[in-house]
A and B are shown apart, each in its own frame.
Chain A
Amino acid sequence: MRKLAARLYDWLDARLDLADLTAPLRHKTVPVHYFSYWYYLGGMTLFLFFVQVVTGILLLLYYRPTANEAFESVQFIMTRVRFGWLIRGLHAWSANLMILCAFAHMFSVLFLRAYRKPRELTWVSGCVLLFLALGFGFSGYLLPWNELAFFATKVGTDIVGQVPAVGHWLMVFLRGGEEVTGATLTRFFGFHVAVLPAITVLFLGIHLALIQRQGISVPPGLEPAMHVLAYLRKHDPAAAEMLIKTAGVQPETREMPFFPNFFLRELMAWYIALGLLGVLAALAPWELGAKADAFAPAPAGIKPEWYFLWMFQTLKLIPGKLGPIDGELAGILAFSAAGVLWVLLPFFDRDKGRAQRLIKGAGIFALAYIVAMTAYGYIAK
């Protein structure tokens, strides 16, 4: 078996020069220090994305994207198809955990200042990927065509309609008409399984290529020590020991090869995540609810998915009129402006204390705001 694999490798190597291709993988290293665990979050997000791709393709085998059949086809998947409950449960849970991981990854990058020069574009592409993930969540939420999703989509697309100038056009584009109907479902299905995946693959490629090219960031506070220690370890190990003992330098400031050391650790984390997903899908099944009915009143306590809740809650709190403009509109404009600033954050980072403190403050504020508003959204009736 092993011999066969080796011969196959040699055969391919003779034709494709694999050694050349795998060289970057062999030279790639991951810094080891006491913040290292945060490095797993990006890979974890990627893993959950893989789970989404696989379970999504499986769901496509039975799902039917029309207003008459969507709900029934999901019901069919949940009740008749063997392991259908598991596949849909995995898809729903993994989607939510993926967005959670992406948010956590983003904030860890922010607080470890990994976005700083030369990695501004990695941050920007990551922000785009997060927006795409939110788009996946929003479009996928409608697909079972149940009551909650129907009204959430009505509200969500209506908010888009408030944007000045292009708002109405955008809303009609999203809904496939003036109202949320079967046409909206068909469209969202197209976005969810074709448009968004294609764009995501592109930006994921850019994001990963940038990381591969630039290597993994080391938190700025640790950078000098890591370089000095690495140099000493190579040329004067005794001095390195001295430095660790006397100057309080963390002995952990070193690197491990990406392959196989980091890769296997990451694989272990993925394995645990898969187990967790299975447990969640089995013990906390994703509900289907009641079929959407355009002529039924909105059910009480309607809320969007948790990752939109903080925005939803904010819009609820803004008074109807803010001076001359609509409160709703003011909120949307504020969120849009904040979003743009957020994407451009690395470009404000100068090697001066003030700008850095400002960014750190903005990060802490954003995190606290999102957590607080989400909690408030759940408590508020």
Chain B
Amino acid sequence: MNPVPESAGPSEAASPATPRRRLLGMLLGSSLAASLASILYPILKFVQPPATGELEVDSVAAAGGDELAPGMSKIFRFGSRPGLLVRLPDGSYRGFNATCTHLNCTVQYRGGEQDIWCACHNGIYDLRGRNVSGPPPRPLEEYDVHERGGEIVVARRQKA
């Protein structure tokens, strides 16, 4: 009582080496490849986020003139990245890029040890930003700090 299935057609009869079949196979294959590309291309483009209008910042007011007592520090926004402003015990200011050069953690000032420390992998920089201990491969980028109109302004150093 089983119905007879339709035969699979001529595909089994013709040898794959027949030139006409090879040509058809090539045409079919390239159409498939083109279709696939036209599906994948928009997807690949879609998943890359469009460039957001991120402003390159060259200088920023990091703190008020009397905000930090000597031996204190703060993290401020420098564009979209964190910066570290330190007021040394002698009352002078230092500014750094607060992103650790090892694996992008944010560093902190330690008053007791008089150093800059990254908690993630125990990287230590001195108060000039030089990497002195632990895994950081490069010194922190140091910024210029000026006092202007009652504000502490941090500026990127101009490359000579």
Query: Could you tell me if B46 and A87 are in contact, using CB atoms closer than 8 angstroms?
Result: yes
Query: Could you tell me if A82 and B6 are in contact, using CB atoms closer than 8 angstroms?
Result: no
Q: Does B48 contact A (CB under 8 A)?
A: yes
Q: Which residue of chain A is the closest to B51 with respect to CB atoms? A: A80
Give the contacting residue for B8; candidates A31, A234, A254, A257; CB below 8 A.
Answer: A257
Cβ distance A234 to chain B, nearest Cβ, rounded Å = 5
Q: Which residue of chain A is the closest to B45 with respect to CB atoms? A: A82
Alpha-carbon distance between A234 and B5 when the two chains are bound, in angstroms: 10
Query: Could you tell me if B3 and A255 are in contact, using CB atoms closer than 8 angstroms?
Result: yes
Give the contacting residue for B4; candidates A61, A83, A233; CB below 8 A.
Answer: A233
Query: Could you tell me if B1 and A83 are in contact, using CB atoms closer than 8 angstroms?
Result: no
Q: Does B42 contact A (CB under 8 A)?
A: yes
The winner among B1, B5, B49 for most chain A CB atoms within 10 A is B5
Q: Which residue of chain B is the closest to A59 with respect to CB atoms? A: B46
Residues 13-44 of chain B: 1 if any A CB is under 8 Å from the residue's CB, otherwise 0? 00000000000000000000001000100110
Known contacts: A256-B5, A261-B6. The answer to whether A83 contacts B50 by CB under 8 A is no
Query: Could you tell me if B8 and A58 are in contact, using CB atoms closer than 8 angstroms?
Result: no
Query: Could you tell me if A231 and B50 are in contact, using CB atoms closer than 8 angstroms?
Result: no
List which A229-279 residues lie within 8 A (CB) of chain B: 229-231, 233-234, 254-257, 260-261, 271, 274
Chain B residues closer than 8 Å to A271, beta-carbon distance: 35
Chain B residues closer than 8 Å to A86, beta-carbon distance: 42, 46
Query: Could you tell me if B6 and A257 are in contact, using CB atoms closer than 8 angstroms?
Result: yes
Q: Does A313 contact B (CB under 8 A)?
A: no
Q: Does A314 contact B (CB under 8 A)?
A: no
Q: Does A227 contact B (CB under 8 A)?
A: yes
Query: Could you tell me if A84 and B46 are in contact, using CB atoms closer than 8 angstroms?
Result: yes
Alpha-carbon distance between A213 and B39 when the two chains are bound, in angstroms: 34
Q: Does A302 contact B (CB under 8 A)?
A: no
Cβ distance A222 to chain B, nearest Cβ, rounded Å = 11
Q: Does A41 contact B (CB under 8 A)?
A: no
Query: Could you tell me if B4 and A261 are in contact, using CB atoms closer than 8 angstroms?
Result: no
**How many residues on the A side are at the interface (Cβ–Cβ under 8 A)?**
28
Residues 197-227 of chain A: 1 if any B CB is under 8 Å from the residue's CB, otherwise 0? 0000000000000000000000000000011
Pair count A-B, CB < 8 A: 59
Give the contacting residue for B50; candidates A32, A81, A234; CB below 8 A.
Answer: A81
Residues 72-89 of chain A: 1 if any B CB is under 8 Å from the residue's CB, otherwise 0? 000000001111101100
Q: Does A96 contact B (CB under 8 A)?
A: no
Query: Could you tell me if A83 and B42 are in contact, using CB atoms closer than 8 angstroms?
Result: yes
Give the contacting residue for A254; candidates B4, B35, B49; CB below 8 A.
Answer: B4
Q: Does B2 contact A (CB under 8 A)?
A: yes
Cβ distance A13 to chain B, nearest Cβ, rounded Å = 21
Q: Does B55 contact A (CB under 8 A)?
A: no
The winner among B1, B2, B46, B50 for most chain A CB atoms within 10 A is B46
Chain B residues closer than 8 Å to A58, beta-carbon distance: 43, 46-47
Alpha-carbon distance between A256 and B50 when the two chains are bound, in angstroms: 49
Q: Which residue of chain B is the closest to A83 with respect to CB atoms? A: B42
Chain A residues closer than 8 Å to B5, beta-carbon distance: 29, 255-257
Give the contacting residue for B3; candidates A62, A81, A226, A260; CB below 8 A.
Answer: A226
Chain B residues closer than 8 Å to A31, beta-carbon distance: 3
Alpha-carbon distance between A226 and B2 when the two chains are bound, in angstroms: 10
Alpha-carbon distance between A44 and B49 when the two chains are bound, in angstroms: 32
The 6 A-B residue pairs whose C-beta atoms are closest, nearest first, are A230-B3, A83-B42, A82-B45, A256-B6, A80-B50, A255-B3
Using a CB–CB distance below 8 Å, which chain A residues touch chain B?
29, 31-32, 58, 61-62, 80-84, 86-87, 226-227, 229-231, 233-234, 254-257, 260-261, 271, 274
Q: What are 15 residue pairs bridging A and B, where the CB atoms are less than 8 Å apart in the complex?
A: A29-B3, A81-B46, A82-B50, A83-B45, A227-B1, A227-B3, A229-B3, A230-B3, A233-B3, A254-B4, A254-B6, A256-B5, A256-B6, A257-B6, A271-B35
